């Protein structure tokens, strides 16, 4: 059910959940101070209780109420990138509910870049919101995706198609060195330039698993099996398979062949919608042209991370 900003704020105040648009993906939001509403988020998503939620704020002053924002790095980054696709993990304030942080001493916070959602959060106060998909499904980038997963009764604020289409960069500022726990549109290079220090972006080792619980779970998977196109495979396109190219332009095309012609931002924006469309059309396979070096586009590490996690093995 599509609702407006006013209604969304009312629903949040009455301790119920609502899906809100952001520039990355739609979020399933609950008042960050309501255990009842937060429980509904975990139940609806069938999300494991040990996977913490991101708190969404309408500005830096709301962030101060949730986290210990004392570091200079926080202020530099929030001033530069908020509102925007950067989530900052900080030591939490004592009042932040354990259900949000999964019992961790830190809380993840971001200010999303969508006028409707900022208007809602200004009225309701901070909301905790995971992506508004059922756990294990691709994140929703259009209002229809949310309704497909949860049914027409779920209230959704229609903010159109998400402009970034991949989840935010998660940066942990609570340790001795800043560490990227999940790559997104804001890159390590951009962050280093603002704070003037090295950011670690190591792959998921044991330590990182502890710090970013979400990386433990299988994610971003459509029902069709996803794989990279082998460089030695033939050029013929079989029906029942979706082919995605970003650089190469094959001679044999059709409506199951998608071309991005070097536009990696458009590819990122469309990825989850293509996964969902492939499932609707009952495609068995999704084959993707291997991605080039990150120097071609700053979104490539995030795109690679999401595709790699959805590849069948
Ligand atoms: O772009 C986004 O970040 C979207 C939109 C809705 O804002 N949200 C999103 O939420 O992707 P979710 O729940 O699907 O992913 C949140 C990620 C998970 O990997 C979780 O483990 C991590 O953030 N996270 C949350 N709190 C954390 C904390 N205190 N420490 C480390 N990682 C945390
Ligand atoms: Mg998610």
Instruction: Report domain extents, the chain.
Output: 2-211, 225-310
- Residue 136, sorted as left (phi over 0), alpha (psi -120 to 50) or beta, turns out to be left
Mean pLDDT by 10 residues, the chain (313 residues): 98 98 98 98 95 97 95 96 98 97 98 98 98 92 98 98 98 96 97 97 52 62 92 82 94 92 97 97 96 92 95 81
What local confidence, expressed as pLDDT, does residue 204 receive?
43
User: Regarding beta strands 27-31 and 18-20, do their DSSP bridges make them parallel or antiparallel, or are they unpaired?
Assistant: antiparallel
Beta carbons of 179 and 150 less than 8 angstroms apart? no
Atom of ligand 1 nearest to the CA of 174: 30
- 125 burial (CB, 10 Å; 0-12 / 13-18 / 19+) is middle
Pocket probe mutation, ligand 1, options 18, 108, 141, 165, max atoms within 8 Å of Cβ:
108
Q: Report how far apart the first and last C-alpha atoms of the chain are (Å, whole number).
A: 37
Closest C-alpha to 127, from 202, 213, 204, 18 = 18
Measured CA to CA, the distance from residue 236 to residue 273 in angstroms comes to 24
Q: What is the pLDDT of residues 130-159, one digit of tens each?
A: 999 998 889 999 999 999 999 999 999 999
Q: What is the pLDDT of residues 191-209, one digit of tens each?
A: 999 999 999 986 444 454 4
The protein residues having their C-beta less than 5 angstroms from ligand 2 (an ion) are 131
> What's phi and psi for 27, nearest 5 deg?
-115, 150
What local confidence, expressed as pLDDT, does residue 214 receive?
65
Measured CA to CA, the distance from residue 63 to residue 83 in angstroms comes to 12
Ligand 1 pocket list (CB less than 6 A): 22, 24-25, 27, 51-54, 85, 87, 89, 101, 104, 106-108, 112, 129-131, 167-168, 170, 181-182, 211-214
Atom of ligand 1 nearest to the CA of 56: 7
Domain 2-211, CATH number (from 3.60.15.10, 3.90.870.10, 3.40.1410.10, 3.40.50.620): 3.90.870.10
Measured CA to CA, the distance from residue 279 to residue 283 in angstroms comes to 6
pTM to 2 decimal places: 0.95
Contacts of 135 (CB under 8 A, 6+ apart): 45, 46, 47, 48, 217
Measured CA to CA, the distance from residue 13 to residue 286 in angstroms comes to 42
Give the DSSP letter string of 116-169.
HHHHHHHHH--EE--BSS-TTSPPP-SHHHHHHHH-TTS-EE---S-SS-SPPE
Q: Which two tokens stand for residue 235?
A: 């050029």
Beta carbons of 269 and 254 less than 8 angstroms apart? no
Share of the chain above pLDDT 70, in %: 94
Beta bridge partners of 10: none
User: Regarding beta strands 179-182 and 169-172, do their DSSP bridges make them parallel or antiparallel, or are they unpaired?
Assistant: antiparallel
């Amino acid at each position: 059910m599509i609702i407006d900003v006013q209604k969304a704020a009312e629903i949040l105040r009455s301790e119920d959940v609502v899906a809100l648009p952001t520039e990355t993906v739609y979020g399933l939001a609950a008042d960050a101070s309501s255990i009842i509403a937060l429980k509904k988020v975990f139940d609806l998503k069938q999300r494991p209780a040990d996977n913490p939620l991101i708190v969404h704020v309408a500005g830096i002053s709301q962030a101060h109420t949730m986290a210990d924002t004392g570091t200079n790095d926080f202020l530099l980054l929030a001033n530069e990138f908020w509102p925007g696709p950067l989530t900052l993990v900080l030591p939490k304030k004592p009042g932040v509910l354990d259900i949000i942080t999964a019992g961790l001493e830190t809380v993840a916070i971001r200010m999303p870049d969508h006028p409707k959602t900022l208007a809602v959060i200004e009225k309701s106060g901070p909301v905790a919101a995971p992506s508004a998909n059922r756990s294990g499904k691709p994140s929703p980038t259009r209002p229809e995706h949310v309704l497909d997963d949860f049914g027409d009764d779920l209230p959704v604020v229609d903010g159109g198609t998400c402009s970034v289409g991949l989840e935010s960069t998660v940066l942990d500022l609570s340790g001795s060195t800043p560490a990227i726990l999940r790559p997104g549109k804001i890159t390590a290079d951009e962050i280093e330039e603002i704070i003037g220090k090295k950011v670690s972006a190591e792959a998921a080792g044991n330590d990182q698993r502890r710090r970013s619980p979400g990386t433990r779970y299988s994610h971003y998977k459509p029902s069709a099996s996803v794989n990279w196109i082998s460089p030695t495979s033939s050029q013929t396109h079989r029906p029942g398979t979706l082919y995605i190219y970003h650089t190469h332009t094959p001679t044999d095309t059709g409506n199951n062949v998608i071309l991005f012609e070097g536009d990696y931002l458009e590819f990122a924006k469309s990825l989850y919608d293509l996964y969902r469309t492939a499932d609707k059309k009952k495609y068995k396979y999704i084959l993707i042209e291997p991605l080039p070096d990150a120097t071609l586009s700053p979104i490539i590490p995030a795109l690679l991370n999401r595709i790699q996690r959805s590849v069948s093995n």
